[in-house]
Amino acid sequence: KQEVTQIPAALSVPEGENLVLNCSFTDSAIYNLQWFRQDPGKGLTSLLLIQSSQREQTSGRLNASLDKSSGRSTLYIAASQPGDSATYLCAVGVTGANNLFFGTGTRLTVIP
């Protein structure tokens, strides 16, 4: 069964700092990986979707990379802002299945 791990579980950084969130998965037979953001008491907002054939995706200050062979993805946030404070979840789509396997999330706090 696919296991998805996110480290660290919580991260606190001062405003303006660049940061990296990590996601690892045990089964490399994935077709894509999706990063989501969840604000407290809210739903999941999709940030970036990386197909298994891709190495990275960028959107504004966000850059996500994927190394399928090593079972790792990173989400890089440049010049962090207090508005970036949220929980970030990664989820993998596994070949042969139509559902997502979620990590437990990293709770990010950006201090003004």
Partner 1 sequence: DAGVIQSPRHEVTEMGQEVTLRCKPISGHDYLFWYRQTMMRGLELLIYFNNNVPIDDSGMPEDRFSAKMPNASFSTLKIQPSEPRDSAVYFCASSRGGYYGYTFGSGTRLTVV
Nearer to partner 1, 43 or 112 (CB): 43
Q: What angle do CA 81, 108, 48 make, to 5 degrees?
A: 80
Under rule CB under 8 A, residue 105 binds partner 1: yes
Stretch that binds partner 1, among 9-17, 20-28, 41-49, 64-72 (CB under 8 A): 41-49
Under rule CB under 8 A, residue 89 binds partner 1: yes
Nearer to partner 1, 42 or 81 (CB): 42
- State how far the alpha carbon of 11 is from the alpha carbons of 24, 51, 62, in Å: 17, 27, 17
First to last CA, the chain: 41
31-37-43-46 Cα dihedral, nearest 10 degrees: -40
- Residues lying near partner 1 in the complex (CB under 8 A) are found at 31-32, 34, 36, 41-46, 49, 51, 89, 91, 93, 97-100, 102-105
